[in-house]
Structure 1
Amino acid sequence: MRWQQARLVHRRVETPTAHTLVLQVPGWPAHVPGQHVDLRLTAADGYQAARSYSLAAPADGDHIEVTVQRVPDGEVSPFLVDGYREGDPIEVRGPIGGWFVWRPTQTDPVLLVAGGSGVVPLMAMIRSRRSAGSRTPFRLIYSVRTPTDVFYADELRRRVRDDAGLDVAYVYTREAPDGWSGEPHRLGLADVNTHGWPPELTPLVYVCGPTGFVETVSDLLVGLGHPARRVRTERFGPTG
């Protein structure tokens, strides 16, 4: 793969610390939901820094979307969230990855489990399902610290209402919204058992989030009887 020149054409604010960047990449070869790209910045003195980001939406001509969360003291993410302006250049390499992907031709029930910003590649799958007119049943379990940390909050509410066959359940770990039943807690066995698909339906499962979260959820799923080969995982550390 080679580096390609891209430019920012639009941005959307998702949370106080996360923005979606819409990039124009001439000649983009298209991609599959679940893949990611590398973004590279070059300073005036020639210093370069690159980071990987999941693609947040299905292919749309020469436009791609990534959602970047600002990491305190990070090298790249603070600039992309706070300093990167429309029309500014950036280099892109990708698409990358072939295991953690979902294709609209697949018909098995899908369970998506996200921790924090791990929802980004799963959102690309949800959006692709809609754009392809797929009727594959989807369930998303989304673990976040507080309601203000939810990526794509308005869109998810709209999709639950309008996209038949899509269900979304939230787990809040630090602060729950007013009127929420129960106390904030880490995602556990009861959450997966209640909001996920039973293993006898042999769903295809995608789990994305920090390493500890992914390992915990994967163990819970296998313990409930989901075959390990049906559980696909993507883990990450802080992307600065």
Structure 2
Amino acid sequence: MSEGLGLGGPEAPRGGWRTATVSRVRRPIQRSVELRLDVHDRIDHMAGQHYVVRLTAEDGYTAQRSYSVASAPGDPLVELFVERLDDGEVSTYLADVVEPGDELEVRGPIGGWFVWDGDTPALLVAGGFGVVPFVGMIRHARALGRLDLLRVVVSSRTLAELPYADELMDAGALVILTREAHGIRPAGRLTAPDLLPLWEPGQTAYVCGSASFAEAASQLLVGMGFPADGVRVERFGPTGALA
């Protein structure tokens, strides 16, 4: 779910149910899958939006989950990066069964609050698979030649578990690992001193991760003086949310 400590948000496109053909399947890190989808009659999305994937069994039972879009708005395909959860009805199917050429039922783009317009400075704070919508923002910024507008910090248990690690570091992201050292920084959780050098006037802060990470990171930002109406939060979890 997305939420904001402030009010308002830009207008964003919204699409209905579509059929998508799976163009590519990759598994770059353990317990995950990267899907590239050719969405029929696709509506262009904004960086930060998401899609719903719905599965229907032969007996009519349906299950659906939402996944953030990692592709830039200018990409002709929609890229989703899915964490495989052992009890996940949708994620296990996407990670273990889906192959190129398969068709999926999808709805999107969805979401108008957690989007980046490509024109304003932003501080992106992610935990684990919460990096996915930020990869879409980074790709959009790179396409516009405005990577300078983004400051990025990501937290993960280990580097091997971090989606898009190389791409994030190429974009200048500060990588913080809680279970191993990274560079000269010892293992440890995200702190206010990590965030302070990334602050710039006029930034909007975007926070994405598990409920516990999102809560802790939001409190850090507000505690260091970041205006509450400039913080946008997206939380995800095993029961439905975003990845």
Q: TM-score, normalised by structure 1?
A: 0.88
- SS in structure 2 of the partner of residue 16 of structure 1: coil
Q: TM-score, normalised by structure 2?
A: 0.87
Q: CA deviation at 1:61?
A: 6.1
Match of 1:150 among 162, 175, 179: 162
Gaps of at least 5 residues in structure 2 are 1-14
Mapping 1:126-205, distance limit 5 Å: 126-134=138-146, 136-157=148-169, 159-160=170-171, 167-177=172-182, 180-194=183-197, 196-198=198-200, 201-205=201-205
Q: CA deviation at 1:135?
A: 5.2
CA distance in 2, matches of 1:12, 1:68: 11
Please give the root-mean-square deviation of Cα atoms over the aligned residues, in Å.
1.7
Indicate the larger mover: 85-94 or 55-64: 55-64
1:21-47 C-alpha deviation (Å, 9 max, x unpaired):
001111101100001110011122222
Q: CA deviation at 1:60?
A: 4.2
Q: Which amino acid aligns with 2:29?
A: T
Match of 1:122 among 134, 154, 159: 134
Match of 1:21 among 28, 35, 53: 35
Contact in 1 for aligned 2:71/2:77 (Cα 8 Å): no
Alpha carbons of 1:4 and 1:15: their partners in 2 closer, same or farther (altered >3 Å)?
Answer: same
Q: CA deviation at 1:145?
A: 0.5
Corresponding position: 1:45 with 2:47: no
Q: Which amino acid aligns with 2:72?
A: P
Q: CA deviation at 1:182?
A: 3.8
CA distance in 2, matches of 1:236, 1:18: 15
Contact in 2 for aligned 1:142/1:171 (Cα 8 Å): yes
CA distance in 1, matches of 2:16, 2:48: 20
Contact in 1 for aligned 2:138/2:147 (Cα 8 Å): no
Match of 1:82 among 89, 96, 101: 96
CA distance in 1, matches of 2:212, 2:65: 21
Alpha carbons of 1:140 and 1:219: their partners in 2 closer, same or farther (altered >3 Å)?
Answer: same
Match of 2:20 in 1: 6
Q: CA deviation at 1:2?
A: 3.0
- How many residues were matched structurally? 226
Moved over 3 A (4+): none
Q: Which amino acid aligns with 2:132?
A: V
CA distance in 2, matches of 1:121, 1:3: 21
Match of 2:211 in 1: 211
Corresponding position: 1:93 with 2:107: yes
Contact in 1 for aligned 2:128/2:154 (Cα 8 Å): yes
CA distance in 2, matches of 1:92, 1:175: 38
Contact in 2 for aligned 1:27/1:62 (Cα 8 Å): no
User: % of aligned pairs identical?
Assistant: 46
